[in-house]
């Protein structure tokens, strides 16, 4: 690629504590991430893994967004393509048709809401931003659509860069690593360098808990989450009701709220700046208690 990766890593490592990026610009508003924020999940799909997150129809989605905002969510993340393991493919047109009317309705009902679009497709992301959203959340880190990075650069919006291998239908079959932390770290370094060269200013990293990762991989990443701070970028932790919790405890996703709160609190102690969750009230309470302890 024409750059020295090791030099880039060393450059990023200098003065990490003082230089970690603490703000993002979302629609002209500066969001301070030095105090952890909560992102609420709304799935506009019939088959997302946690039934409680599925909101079919515009009115149900708008009502849920309002509830999350009242409970203290800073961001609302809208997804119209299920990324659960083995999920069926959805056409770009169907994803767009599910998503855009909801974005427009939430923007109309709650003009100050900061909306994130959960998609790996550049055209869907662009349509979401045009409809009034502010952030692009890409589970594939640009790997499933070669136009994603240039689209983010053109739109100049914050970009959530997640680590995943393969796609939702294949990721569990290729969840193999010699050293999961090092592989994810190197992935972030390479991807962020490309984004920075394109002029993207606001990048948030997400280790992708449960995406092409066995349970032990996800917990290994959580154990070393604080080490990603060397990248000087905000960190998003998305563990809400995932199999790494309910599979370990021998329960169901519906029963995994307590485990989610425990793991979210651990993520906060390790430097997470954003908690992406199904249950906003409980996550906001965890943040408030953690902030008081600081």
As a whole number, mean pLDDT of residues 192-201 equals 97
SS3 267: helix
Residue 174 has pLDDT above 90, yes or no: no
| Window from 12-26, 31-45, 250-264 with minimum mean pLDDT | 12-26
| Window from 84-88, 99-103, 163-167, 220-224 with minimum mean pLDDT | 84-88
Question: Which of 242, 270, 281, 288 is flagged as catalytic?
Answer: 242
Residue 165 has pLDDT above 70, yes or no: yes
For residue 293, being part of any structural domain is answered with no
Structural domain containing residue 170: 5-288
**What does the DSSP 8-state code read for residue 127?**
H
84 is catalytic: no
For residue 134, being part of any structural domain is answered with yes
| Window from 57-66, 70-79, 119-128 with minimum mean pLDDT | 57-66
Residue 209 and residue 225 in contact, taking contact as beta carbons nearer than 8 Å = no
Q: What is the pLDDT of residue 16?
A: 42
For residue 22, being part of any structural domain is answered with yes
Spatial CA neighbour of 120 closest among 103, 144, 102: 144
Q: What CATH number should be reported for the domain holding residue 211?
A: 3.20.20.20
Domains held by the chain: number: 1
For residue 267, being part of any structural domain is answered with yes
Residue 114 and residue 76 in contact, taking contact as beta carbons nearer than 8 Å = yes
Q: What is the pLDDT of residue 193?
A: 97
Residue 54 has pLDDT above 70, yes or no: no
Task: Categorize the per-residue pLDDT at 56 as very low, low, confident or very high, splitting at 50, 70 and 90.
Answer: low
- Alpha carbon separation from 15 to 10, 12, 21, 29 (Å, rounded): 11, 8, 12, 27
Residue 55 has pLDDT above 70, yes or no: no
For residue 294, being part of any structural domain is answered with no
For residue 220, being part of any structural domain is answered with yes
Task: Categorize the per-residue pLDDT at 21 as very low, low, confident or very high, splitting at 50, 70 and 90.
Answer: confident
* Count of Cβ atoms closer than 10 Å to residue 270 Cβ: 17
Query: Could you give the CA distance from residue 168 to residue 176 in angstroms, rounded to a whole number?
Result: 15
- Alpha carbon separation from 104 to 42, 68, 129, 134, 146 (Å, rounded): 15, 17, 10, 12, 27
242 is catalytic: yes
Question: Which of 98, 191, 213, 276 is flagged as catalytic?
Answer: 276
As a whole number, mean pLDDT of residues 5-25 equals 60
Q: What percent of the chain has pLDDT over 90?
A: 79
Query: Could you give the CA distance from residue 21 to residue 213 in angstroms, rounded to a whole number?
Result: 27
Query: Could you give the CA distance from residue 283 to residue 289 in angstroms, rounded to a whole number?
Result: 10
For residue 239, being part of any structural domain is answered with yes
Residue 243 has pLDDT above 60, yes or no: yes
For residue 281, being part of any structural domain is answered with yes
Phi/psi region, residue 61 (left: phi>0; alpha: psi -120 to 50; beta: rest), is alpha
β pairing state of 23-26 and 114-118: unpaired
Residue 144 has pLDDT above 90, yes or no: yes
Query: Could you give the CA distance from residue 73 to residue 16 in angstroms, rounded to a whole number?
Result: 28
Query: Could you give the CA distance from residue 72 to residue 223 in angstroms, rounded to a whole number?
Result: 27
């Amino acid at each position: 690629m024409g750059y020295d990766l090791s030099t880039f890593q060393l450059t990023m490592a200098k003065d990490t504590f003082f230089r970690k990026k603490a703000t993002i610009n979302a629609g002209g508003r500066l969001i301070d991430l030095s105090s952890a924020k909560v992102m609420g999940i709304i799935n506009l799909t019939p088959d997302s893994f946690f039934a409680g997150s599925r909101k079919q129809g515009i009115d149900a989605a708008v009502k849920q967004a309002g509830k999350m905002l009242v409970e203290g969510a800073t961001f609302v993340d809208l997804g119209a393509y299920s990324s659960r393991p083995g999920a069926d493919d959805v056409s770009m047109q169907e994803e767009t048709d599910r998503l855009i009317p909801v974005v427009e309705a939430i923007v109309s009902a709650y003009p100050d809401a900061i909306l994130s679009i959960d998609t790996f497709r550049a055209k869907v992301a662009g349509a979401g931003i045009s409809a009034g959203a502010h952030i692009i959340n890409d589970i594939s880190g640009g790997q499933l659509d070669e136009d994603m990075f240039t689209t983010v650069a053109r739109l100049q919006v914050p970009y959530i860069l997640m680590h995943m291998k393969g796609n939702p239908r294949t990721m569990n079959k290729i969840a193999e690593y010699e050293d999961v932390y090092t592989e994810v770290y190197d992935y972030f370094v390479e991807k962020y360098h490309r984004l920075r060269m394109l002029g993207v200013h606001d990048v948030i990293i997400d280790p992708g808990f449960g995406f092409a990762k066995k349970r032990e991989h996800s917990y290994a990443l959580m154990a070393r989450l604080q080490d990603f701070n060397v990248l000087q970028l905000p960190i998003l932790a998305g563990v809400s009701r995932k199999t790494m919790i309910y599979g370990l405890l021998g329960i169901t996703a519906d029963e995994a709220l307590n485990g989610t709160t425990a793991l979210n609190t651990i993520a906060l102690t390790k430097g997470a700046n954003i908690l992406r969750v199904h249950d906003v009230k409980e996550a906001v309470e965890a943040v408030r208690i953690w902030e008081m302890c600081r």
